[in-house]
Structure 1
Amino acid sequence: MKRLRRHTLAAAISLAVCIPGIALAQEAAEQEAKTLDSVTVTGSRIKRADVEGQVPVQTLSREDIERTGLTSIGEVLQRITASGSGFNRTRNASGNDGFPPDGGGTGAGSTTVNLRHLGTKRVLVLVDGQRWVNESSASGVGAAVDLNTIPLAIVERIEVLEDGASSLYGSDAIAGVVNIITRRSFEGAQVTVNYGEYTPGDGESKSIDIAWGGSSDRASWFVGASYHDQDEIASRDRERTRVPVFGTGLALGSSRVPGGRFVFQDPRNGVVYDLVTDPTLNDPTYTPGLPACTPGADRPDGFRCWLGSRDAFNYAPYNLLLTPNERAGLFGQFRFDLSPDVSWYARALVNRRESLNQAAPEPIDLGPGAGSPFTANLVIPANHPFNPFGIQLDSSTIRTIRRRPIEGGPRLFEQEVDTTYVGTGIEGTFGVGNRTWFWDVNAAYGRNEAEQENRGSYNARNIALALGDPAVCASTPGCTPLDIFGYNTITPAMLAWISPVFRDESENELSLATANLSGDLFDLPAGALSFATGYEYRKYEGSYRPDPQTVRGEYNGVPSLPTQGSYDVNEVFVELNIPLMANSGWGKKLDLNLAGRYSDYSTFGGEFVPKIGLRWQLADEFLLRSTYAEGFRAPSIGELFGQATRFDADITDPCLISVNGDPPTAPRANCAALGVPAGARQFDPQIGVETGGNRNLEPERSRSFSAGFVWTPSVLEDSAIARRVDIEGTFYRHTIEGAIQAQAPQTQLDLCTQTLDPRFCSGIVRNPTTGQIESFANYLGNFDSIRTDGWDIDVFWLLPEMAIGDLSITWQNTIVGSYEAVGPDGSRQPLEVGRLVSDPVTRAIPRWTSNATLEWKRNNWSAAWTVRHTSELVEDCGDAAGFPICRNNPGPNQNRLGSTTYHDVQVGYRVDWMRGLQLLVGMNNVFEKEPPVCLSCNLNSFDGSTYDLPGGGFWYVRADLRF
């Protein structure tokens, strides 16, 4: 696996070298020292080597990336210990979750990074120090970068700043910064071929990367091409994912069944029927009077009473456990020395991603509470040719009608996402006295556009016409009367009328221009006072264009409306590094770093954020460092301009008998006041939640603090047990005020039923007859606060030289001390340390995550063994509370997800042929450890952003040829 390290400045001071990202060989460190004097380290704008170490930075080299066996930059970053939940290949989102509150869409097929569990939209992604365009998901305007838009072939290394950095980089850097450094100095060519699959023999992954570069006296160039193809794995292919919730059979299956469920009141006798189609017409297990029918109800021919879990539909086999993903990218950059002091560069990228998500056949809901006005208010006349009940079915008689037309097959969501980027700039140096100043002027443009085709969904208007007055249908071109009353009753002609192809589009654009200047101003007694300053202009433009049928309200699935918006920002910044002391009784060196940034947004005005840092080198082997920073994040286009959309949340209604028969938990008097009749049962745990943007949003404001040490104990250097040991520790604390998010729907509903407070209840509307929730408003706002803190503890140990070869150990840990999100009303949100929640997406915060790698090298051989550990989590069991799979540990209705440890191995051999042929073979999760069962996760009974896939390990081979 990867070996990541936080920059070890003590070694840089004592040895005059910088330890490269866990390639601890001395010759590599010496090579880095030769070039460090003129580079900018992520976390500072000043081009000097001796400011490195001011803030905690992890560096991931290309070798570290290759050691993971992964072929996505995003999935590699999701494995660092400071990373939280984010989209990846396991996220089969389209058609299942709907639209998240921030207007960003489902991010289908993308991979994102989430630092400190503060959310992907609070992480700034840079490429060569410049911002990268955000994703567009064809279902919204995203506020995070899809790392699948950056081909692996172009990456030299990745630097991860785990500290608030709005003063240096502007908005979005509240949780940290990911800076992807592209390959620049490259001579010759390289071809890398990868193949891998999961041990059951599925999920095949293939990729090829090609790199070519060269240089002349005044020019250098690099071209990288990458192709990757990941096959799907269906949920039905793993025992753990073949049912909706593992360990509950079909008890928590869907009440939307292939033959239809019909709950209606017959006006002739007042009887309320709850019927399903009898697939055999003579069900041998049916005994008259045995099912829980309404007393006195007759059973029409071909129907019988609903028997709960026995009749529930198993939608799981239609879903995907691993989504297919095909990517192709091409990147090139060219640099030319206009003079000895001035260089010009140009770079460009094109990238195409094709991905697919799949969901169970789309259900058709009719009657009050249905998703569309066409289906909520439809009328099925008594004379309809397929109406078997002899009465008119309308909003006064229908309680709910639910039919899952498996005749139309699963829903398929196919995405095509194109990313283009062009950038150019001039950079150089000039002398000021005997000092050298650095300058650069840059411009760049990025665009991410997505198209999505949705097949297998339905047009609600056409459904209503096909179920309505037969004369109206006959006079409408193409209309074919629809038969939903039975199994396999929907013919191809009926499907042709109700099931068109829906096409959605979205795009994000980023235009930017920057100018920077840095250097040394003058000497102080302890050294030179250094500075950096600059100006940056950015313009963001984004749009989401759903299919015209959806805009007209005809889409039978999750509705959405278009989004269109733009804003721009002008910024200036300054950074100073002030040496306060050098070579005194107080230590070797004490530096003060000050930074500030003023931003003027077209959407809300101006904002200034400062940062202060101290770096105290007490001795060659020991360094202390601390930072305090204020930051902000401007609302994204989706958060500001997104119109009303919906997502489906798994919610247990405290006023209703649960799906599996548990009694209501809310006070009966309160539920009666809300219009819930006694004995009402919840039809389905999935409730549509309406959400959307808010043009009155204010920016989030944050405070970040970190304090830590870097220690290279000299007593262990070149000792009997080590050549060198580096130990780093960092305490962090982030506080966000006015955080932009929507209240957790389950929390809002619980507070409503417990307090009847209009602040919680005003957006929740129930059916006056059944008590079911028909609409649930849950819009974005500026929450009161999010607070989190914790520790990073890392150890890097290079063992003494031995006859068996060189051995090194890397051990990295993140321990989250606390995480708390509190609404403006004082209500506590459910996400906290040691918990997993799934509302509307799965998020988990383990208290302890740890990665440890033992690496061995001898001559042309190499090997690595990596251990990845995640501590235990707790979730609410929800509707699985009454089943043995819910452990009721540590308390009632709670499930403990035990701690999980994965083992990865890799063996490599270098063939001295041409310029080198490197062969690698490895396996992730070599002992095929199963992830813990998740009872609250939306799909597949496991959290794919925290754990490896169930049902086997992943083996791979790689060949890398340089010539």
Structure 2
Amino acid sequence: MRKHQPSTLRLTALAAALLALNVQAQTTEPQQPQQLQRVEITGSNIKRINAETAVPVQVVTRAQIEASGVTTVKGLIDELSASTGGLSDIEGGNRFSPGASAISFRGLGEKATLVLLNGRRISPYGLADYATLITNVDSLPIDAIERVEVLKSGASAIYGSDAIAGVVNFITRRDFKGFVAGASYADSLNKPVFGEKNAYVLAGMGDIAQDRFNVFGMLSGYQRDPLFYSDIIADTPERLTQYSPTYGTPSTFSYPGNIIGGGKALALPGCATKNASGLCVYNRYERFQAIPDNKRLNFTGQFRFALNADTEVFVDALASRTEVAYSGPHQTYGGATTSPLVWGNPNTNSSQTFRYRNLPVTHPLNTLGVPAELRYRFIDSGEGKSVEASEYRVVTGIKGIWHNYDWEVALNHMGSDVDSKDRGSFSNSGFKAMIGDYNNPGADFFNKAGGYKIGQANSAEVLNTLFPTYGYKGSIKTTAVDAKLSGELMALPAGMMSFATGVVLTKESVKIDPTANLRAGDIVGNGLSAADSSRNFSAVFGELSIPVLKTLEAQVAARVDKYPGFGAHFSPKLALRYQPAKEFLLRGTIENGFRAPNLTESADSTKFAFQSAPDPKRCTPARLLQRDLRAQAAPLPSSDPNKALLLARADSVVNAECGSAALITRNNPDLKPETARTLSAGFVFEPADQFSLAVDYWNIERKDEIAARSGSRLLSEEGAGSPNVLRDPIALDPTFTAAERAKYGVTAGKLSAILRQFVNLNKTKTDGFDLEARFRTDTPIGKLGVTLTGTYTQGYRIWDTTNNQWSANYAGGYTTPRLRSNVSFSLRMPQWTHALSFRNSTGYKIDYNANDDTCAENVGFGMDPLDCRVPGNTVTDYYIAYNGIKHLQLSMNFFNIFNKGAPNDVRAFAIDDSGIIPTNFQDAKRSSYRFNVKYTF
């Protein structure tokens, strides 16, 4: 068993040495007087003095961002207790929107959380994630963010579509004069293969008060090193690998390959590495990529010019360039026992099936005298995916004060262009031309004149025909004009009523253009997403802040959005803020949110994809067959070639029948918008300036959710002659022999494809509590701060459209911990800053809910009942910064200082995944660090 104690000891010694440098007594900085001014807070268009509004807003400051040590905006948001993940570019290589990262709150998905930059939208990513348009937060440089305001409530009455689960407003500097340069490097202390680099330069000039202008810009870069599973394969704990006898083993799908038939198995000539049974093997983990290479270059900048004392013009610019390179194992080829590949043909709206065929007896490499299965790896396939994304936003506007009213008019032009290129999958036509027709293989199969030659050098012409480049070009462009007016409206007995009103006019276009070979369905096993449409839409909004009593304020807001395809949508909101004493505040909201159907859902589009959908008629028999095959292999010696064959087939039968299904999905121009009702109620208690406590209950119910019925659902509803489920004739069964079908009760043919359409189908409700507590005080050596934030999910239910009732509670079920919390302690001194944080997530069951039998089923297949639960996890981080050198700041972040591995998740590793690769990098990464340097003048 590996020992990780040395890393912990080194880390402890280093932290102790840094602490010893600042034991000397230090004086506190004098407090500067604060001048109160009205500011616009996320969740309202009315400027106000009170920071605590009727809706809960969490503010993450620049100091907190630096202390967290995160290297990306995605990493920062994932640490918030209300965050529930979202798409990451790390695992996005097999998604329709590779190279992007998005955020999700309350478990409601990326499309329910609105992302703003300085109060305005940024462009969706140029490639939709199947039918979801996401906001790529990788386009925002972490070093440019001055603070983040997180509205933990819906806000469609203020911002319109998408603001259902929350709003995240990233705010950059408003003005800057001077020069700052910074850089950082991060890696693992346990295994230094997780390198990340950041660097930036910020420069500005001008004083808006004295020079009438200010202009500044920041150029920042980020690079993440690629990581391959070969570097971390040995770090997965035995608690997981015991469930996968093939974990870490080389593959018999190799180069120059193996042939199998007639009870014999032979390595082909030229094999460099063989296993104990003499078969040629390949280290697939050298090409299995865990983390892709990522390079980003970002620019943010602002220009402000005062026309006079009351009027100002401004330009706010963002530009981002991202390059992500994915790689994976080279394309393989099997024989008749290998499960076929199913994909769609967009020209016929039907499925296609690629079947692996044996080498004919006449092939010169087949010396077995019978048709032979070929296990081969095309190491010349040129496999890989490259993604280049350019995103931009330019806001040009003018604002000012007119008769004590604040007004603003702006033009927002934004867009995203993505070019995704892929290679490594077979061309259907190319395979037939270079290798042979798999539906009717002839005597020259895999031996065509001028075609592909096994284990030999092949020409570029042959390889480009067999493995052509394919992919997508995506472009989304949005132009919006907005205008708003706000100020005091009239005097009431309890105070001044304030208002805000405005209008937004928007033009949007989406084009997702697949290569011709994807449109023709020529790339084996690949899906398709295509769209080309545009629309104009508009909105008007209004908001009132009404002092009902001296102690009671009401916020009344409404917005009307008009999209083509459905009537004007009205989004109202009522929020109350009751403060009977300075130390105590009650607040609550009720509002309606919505999300308009996007152009990939409602306009003309084509979508072919694959979804995890275990076949209810064939998966359980496949698992039983897998169990029996493994039992047959267990007593055989390693030198027996049948052992490897039995184990390989045991894996392939389950992958074939319990894995993915081909889905053909149609758009729907008659979709309605998704709608949501959001309630919140809470209090803020601040008995002294040093302490505050806020507790808020939230409740969200979303209905008319746009989705297509899941493959699993349609399979469960399958009946005789069902038009939604297509199956191959059982006589062509590639998984079970006739004897095995009789033994295990297989009566249905192999699943071919599932047909479906987008509809307003589902609804979801979730509720829980947010907590935020802060304590701050001056001590003889510096300013001490303590912050606690937490989210407790009380309920999460999805409507069961079959039984017309709410599902069992998912809270506490798989991937839905009930409690996520963060506790941090900080000590700020004139020359030193220390911070210690604890990030906690409670454990959860491997069953999604009480009706899910994943645990019971897999215990029946030999899983330890103790693995029916994923344990909770607490990670401890430490930050130290030194400012004792003029103009220079040096700082270090130490993550996971107790060197903990990831909680064991058997479901992720061995049930939902194949048990071949690690499913959590933390077992290898463990303790890590980030070194930061910043120079200012």
TM-score bracket, shorter-length normalisation: 0.7 to 0.9
1:812 and 2:793 are equivalent in the alignment: no
Partner residue in 2 for 1:234: 228
Q: 2:546 aligns with which of 566, 574, 578?
A: 578
Partner residue in 2 for 1:701: 675
**Residue 945 and residue 565 in structure 1: after superposition, are their counterparts in 2 closer, same or farther (change >3 A)?**
farther
- Any residues of structure 2 matched to 1:301-450 within 5 Å, and which? 318-364=287-333, 370-371=341-342, 376=354, 385=363, 388=366, 405-408=377-380, 411-431=383-403, 436-450=404-418
1:204 and 2:195 are equivalent in the alignment: yes
1:34 and 2:22 are equivalent in the alignment: no
Give aligned-pair identity as a percent.
24
Secondary structure in structure 1 of the residue aligned to 2:601: helix
Distance apart, 1:919 and its partner CA: 1.1
**Residue 724 and residue 764 in structure 1: after superposition, are their counterparts in 2 closer, same or farther (change >3 A)?**
farther
- Any residues of structure 2 matched to 1:766-805 within 5 Å, and which? 766-769=728-731, 770=733, 771-777=749-755, 779-799=757-777, 801-805=778-782
- Any residues of structure 2 matched to 1:167-186 within 5 Å, and which? 167-186=157-176
- Any residues of structure 2 matched to 1:362-761 within 5 Å, and which? 362-364=331-333, 370-371=341-342, 376=354, 385=363, 388=366, 405-408=377-380, 411-431=383-403, 436-468=404-436, 480-482=450-452, 488=455, 491=458, 495-582=463-550, 589-640=551-602, 641-649=604-612, 651=614, 653-656=616-619, 657-659=621-623, 661=625, 682=654, 684=656, 685-695=658-668, 696-713=670-687, 717=688, 724-746=690-712, 748-749=714-715, 751-752=716-717, 756=719
Give, as a single letter, the amino acid of the residue that structure 1 aligns with 2:220: S
Answer whether contact 2:130 2:529 (CA < 8 A) is retained: no
Distance apart, 1:417 and its partner CA: 0.6
Secondary structure in structure 2 of the residue aligned to 1:83: coil
Mapped to 1, the partners of 2:183 and 2:456 lie a distance apart of 50
Partner residue in 2 for 1:73: 73
Mapped to 2, the partners of 1:551 and 1:402 lie a distance apart of 30
Secondary structure in structure 2 of the residue aligned to 1:419: strand
1:108 and 2:91 are equivalent in the alignment: no
1:94 and 2:97 are equivalent in the alignment: no
Mapped to 1, the partners of 2:784 and 2:383 lie a distance apart of 52
Answer whether contact 1:923 1:954 (CA < 8 A) is retained: yes
Distance apart, 1:781 and its partner CA: 2.8
Secondary structure in structure 2 of the residue aligned to 1:931: coil
**Residue 775 and residue 690 in structure 1: after superposition, are their counterparts in 2 closer, same or farther (change >3 A)?**
same
Give, as a single letter, the amino acid of the residue that structure 2 aligns with 1:869: N
**Residue 376 and residue 276 in structure 1: after superposition, are their counterparts in 2 closer, same or farther (change >3 A)?**
farther
Answer whether contact 2:682 2:697 (CA < 8 A) is retained: yes
1:438-467 deviation digits (Å, cap 9, x = unpaired): 111111111111112213222121112233
**Residue 285 and residue 140 in structure 1: after superposition, are their counterparts in 2 closer, same or farther (change >3 A)?**
closer
Mapped to 2, the partners of 1:879 and 1:314 lie a distance apart of 35
Q: Which structure 2 segments of 5+ residues have no match?
A: 1-27, 344-350, 629-651, 734-748, 848-853
Answer whether contact 1:87 1:110 (CA < 8 A) is retained: yes
Q: 1:924 aligns with which of 874, 895, 916?
A: 895
Distance apart, 1:803 and its partner CA: 2.7
**Residue 871 and residue 315 in structure 1: after superposition, are their counterparts in 2 closer, same or farther (change >3 A)?**
farther
Answer whether contact 1:702 1:734 (CA < 8 A) is retained: yes
Secondary structure in structure 2 of the residue aligned to 1:462: helix
Answer whether contact 2:257 2:375 (CA < 8 A) is retained: yes
Secondary structure in structure 2 of the residue aligned to 1:74: helix
Answer whether contact 1:41 1:52 (CA < 8 A) is retained: no
Moved more, 526-535 or 874-883: 874-883
Distance apart, 1:138 and its partner CA: 8.1
Mapped to 2, the partners of 1:636 and 1:366 lie a distance apart of 43
- Any residues of structure 2 matched to 1:145-294 within 5 Å, and which? 145-199=135-189, 200-216=191-207, 217=210, 218-239=212-233, 246-251=241-246, 257-258=253-254, 278-279=266-267
Partner residue in 2 for 1:958: 932
Partner residue in 2 for 1:14: none
Distance apart, 1:341 and its partner CA: 1.0
Secondary structure in structure 1 of the residue aligned to 2:342: coil
Moved more, 451-460 or 777-786: 777-786
Mapped to 2, the partners of 1:758 and 1:626 lie a distance apart of 53
Partner residue in 2 for 1:903: 876
Distance apart, 1:561 and its partner CA: 4.5
Secondary structure in structure 2 of the residue aligned to 1:658: helix
- Give the number of aligned pairs: 836
Q: 2:813 aligns with which of 826, 835, 838?
A: 835
Give, as a single letter, the amino acid of the residue that structure 2 aligns with 1:224: M
Secondary structure in structure 1 of the residue aligned to 2:92: coil
Secondary structure in structure 2 of the residue aligned to 1:822: strand
Partner residue in 1 for 2:742: none
1:369-406 deviation digits (Å, cap 9, x = unpaired): 5335776389999697469599999xxxx9xx885524
Distance apart, 1:212 and its partner CA: 1.3
Answer whether contact 2:661 2:753 (CA < 8 A) is retained: yes
- Any residues of structure 2 matched to 1:821-832 within 5 Å, and which? 821-826=798-803, 832=810
Give, as a single letter, the amino acid of the residue that structure 2 aligns with 1:703: R
Partner residue in 2 for 1:307: none
Mapped to 1, the partners of 2:56 and 2:230 lie a distance apart of 44
Aligned Cα root-mean-square deviation (Å):
4.0
Distance apart, 1:875 and its partner CA: 2.0
Answer whether contact 1:594 1:613 (CA < 8 A) is retained: yes
Secondary structure in structure 1 of the residue aligned to 2:865: coil
Mapped to 1, the partners of 2:328 and 2:129 lie a distance apart of 16
Moved more, 877-886 or 541-550: 877-886
1:647-670 deviation digits (Å, cap 9, x = unpaired): 252636453423464689xxxxxx
Mapped to 1, the partners of 2:917 and 2:514 lie a distance apart of 29
Partner residue in 1 for 2:62: 62
Distance apart, 1:551 and its partner CA: 1.3
Mapped to 2, the partners of 1:507 and 1:559 lie a distance apart of 19
TM-score if structure 1 supplies the norm length? Answer: 0.79
Give, as a single letter, the amino acid of the residue that structure 1 aligns with 2:399: E
Mapped to 2, the partners of 1:237 and 1:910 lie a distance apart of 37
Mapped to 2, the partners of 1:154 and 1:84 lie a distance apart of 24
Mapped to 2, the partners of 1:109 and 1:611 lie a distance apart of 37
Answer whether contact 1:577 1:591 (CA < 8 A) is retained: yes
Mapped to 2, the partners of 1:403 and 1:830 lie a distance apart of 46
Distance apart, 1:767 and its partner CA: 4.2
Mapped to 2, the partners of 1:617 and 1:908 lie a distance apart of 39
Answer whether contact 1:133 1:447 (CA < 8 A) is retained: yes
Answer whether contact 1:348 1:423 (CA < 8 A) is retained: yes
Distance apart, 1:164 and its partner CA: 0.8
